[in-house]
Amino acid sequence: MASSSKYPYSTETTQGVVGWKAPSNIALVKYWGKKGPQLPSNPSVSFTLSKCLTETHIKWSVDPEKKSGPKIDLTFEGKEAPHFQQKIEKFLGTIVDVCPWLDWCHLKIEGHNTFPHSAGIASSASSMAALALCLCSIEQKLTGTLDEPRRFYEKASFLARLGSGSASRSIFPKAALWGDMSAFGGRDEYALPVSNIHQSFENFADAILIVSDAEKEVSSSAGHALMDQHPYRQIRFSRARENCHKVIKAIAEGDIKSFGEILEQEALELHALMMLSQPSFILMRPGTLSIIEKVRAYRKRSRLPVYFTLDAGPNIHLLYQEAYRPEVIRFIENELLEHCQDRRWIDDKMGTGPEQVR
Ligand code: PMV
């Protein structure tokens, strides 16, 4: 809907404060490649995390007399962040057609992460999810159109997606599916919660092993663009779709072995795609490979179902059932931390989703 020049909302409420905490997520089946207005080339499934969060507070006000486009002042971790501010300004500019009230709005945005920026963990998913949730809370206050929770979260996921594709999945607790998959009601425009989760996945742990905290060598947008001309493009998109079916089934049935096999295959496929793209990128580091070898040897030796996955970077996510926590932590401390930068890791797990704090 294009916005009219006259302020169309009630003038009773013209200011307020909102705040949300939103988590990061780890993709089990990866989103890699996009089309149109940030729509995914294939469906993806993720686990929502618990400790890696962004908390965002927005002090907002509207001036019904002044339609001058969204105005923002932004601080991140208590400091001005011009690069981030520019990114958010651009993002808000792209969503005024779906949030027309923004044209009369001034937003004072304060954000901070619970995990260090230098941990090599992508914060765009949690930060865009927190921002989208704040925007939906403001929209509800101004228009009263999002009081039904399902509508609220769908819109939040829709907006988060336009900011950063994977952020669409961070809106939901435990596990989420994003992308067109009619069997599960999946849509390209926004993510949905995966509702059928077997109890063996309760509190599933994710040990994030920081092999390197260096800035990403290739941005996600550049990475997705590499798929446009990729020789394995079509086969990748159909395999990812198949893997979404398989992983959703494994999560419903508590089939940890099938889950783990898909998890590792997806991680290695993502990196293989990057190695074979033009230009080519090798984002694993020697420490990444050492950890992968040790995880596989440990699994064979201990018979414990511990599996790895990777983002588009060198750090490892080690996923395992909470019941095996003491043994796995001993394994991490004794064998894996020597490959991590300054022996750093984050002891995270499947989380309960975003939380409104104001
Ligand atoms: O949401 P983006 O554009 O940062 O892309 C995320 C890409 C991966 O993290 C590699 C995979 C995924 O599905 O999260």
Q: Which atom of ligand 1 is nearest to the CA of 29?
A: 13
**Nearest by Cα to 350 from 168, 252, 205, 251:** 205
Q: Where are the beta strands (DSSP E) in the chain?
A: 15-29, 34-35, 39-40, 44-62, 71-76, 79-80, 105-113, 175-178, 191-193, 205-209, 307-310, 316-320, 345-349, 355-356
DSSP 30-96: ----EETTTEESS-EEEEEEEEEEEEEEEEEEE-TT-----EEEEEETTEE-HHHHHHHHHHHHHHT
Q: What is the pLDDT of residue 119?
A: 65
Is the shortest distance between the CB of 41 and ligand 1 below 6 Å?
no
At 5 the pLDDT is 80
Q: CA-to-CA distance for 310 and 295, rounded, in angstroms?
A: 13
Positive or negative CA dihedral for 87, 80, 113, 208? positive
Q: What are 234's two structure tokens?
A: 């079509």
Distances (CA, A) of 75 to 86, 139, 324: 12, 22, 41
The predicted structure's pLDDT at residue 122: 66
Q: What is the pLDDT of residue 275?
A: 98
**Which pLDDT score, from 0 to 100, does residue 253 have?**
98
**Residue carrying structure tokens 């989380």:** 351
Q: How far is the CA of 288 from the centre of ligand 1 (A)?
A: 19
Bridge partners of 140, per DSSP, are none
Asked if residue 54 has its Cβ within 6 Å of ligand 1, the reply is no
CA of 1 to the centre of ligand 1 (A): 29
Q: Please indicate whether residue 27, judged by its CB atom, sits closer than 6 Å to ligand 1.
A: yes
Answer yes or no: is the C-beta of 316 below 6 A from any ligand 1 atom.
no
Please state, in angstroms and rounded to a whole number, the distance separating the CA atoms of residues 188 and 152: 17
Q: For residues 59 and 185, what is the distance between their CA atoms, to the nearest angstrom?
A: 36
Q: What's the N-to-C CA distance of the chain in angstroms?
A: 29
Contact of 189 with 161, CB cutoff 8 Å: yes
**pLDDT on residue 4:** 67
The residue assigned the tokens 């905290």 is 213
Walk along the chain (358 residues) and give the pLDDT tens digit of each residue. 445 689 999 899 999 999 999 999 999 999 999 999 999 999 999 999 999 999 999 999 999 999 999 999 999 999 999 999 999 999 999 999 999 999 999 999 999 999 876 666 768 999 999 999 999 999 999 999 999 999 999 999 999 999 999 999 999 999 999 999 999 999 999 999 999 999 999 999 999 999 999 888 889 999 999 999 999 999 999 999 999 999 999 999 999 999 999 999 999 999 999 999 999 999 999 999 999 999 999 999 999 999 999 999 999 999 999 999 999 999 999 999 999 999 999 999 999 999 999 9
| 321-347 confidence digits (pLDDT tens) | 999 999 999 999 999 999 999 999 999
Q: Is 119's C-beta closer than 6 angstroms to any atom of ligand 1?
A: no
Residue among 25, 26, 30, 39 whose CB has most ligand 1 atoms within 8 A, to mutate: 30
Interatomic CA distance for residues 220 and 306, integer angstroms: 27
Place of tokens 């499934």: 45
Q: How far is the CA of 220 from the centre of ligand 1 (A)?
A: 6
The span from the CA of 25 to the CA of 42, in Å, is 17
Phi, psi of 98 (to 5 degrees): -100, -10
How much is the pLDDT for 216? 81
pLDDT tens-digit readout, 92-130:
999 999 999 999 999 999 999 998 766 667 689 999 999
For 226-237, give the DSSP string. TTTT-TTHHHHH
Provide φ and ψ at 293, rounded to 5°.
Answer: -65, -40
How much is the pTM? Answer: 0.97
Mutate to test the pocket of ligand 1, among 31, 128, 284 (most ligand atoms within 8 A of CB): 31
The structure tokens 């932004």 sit at 74
C-beta atoms surrounding 351 within 10 Å: 22
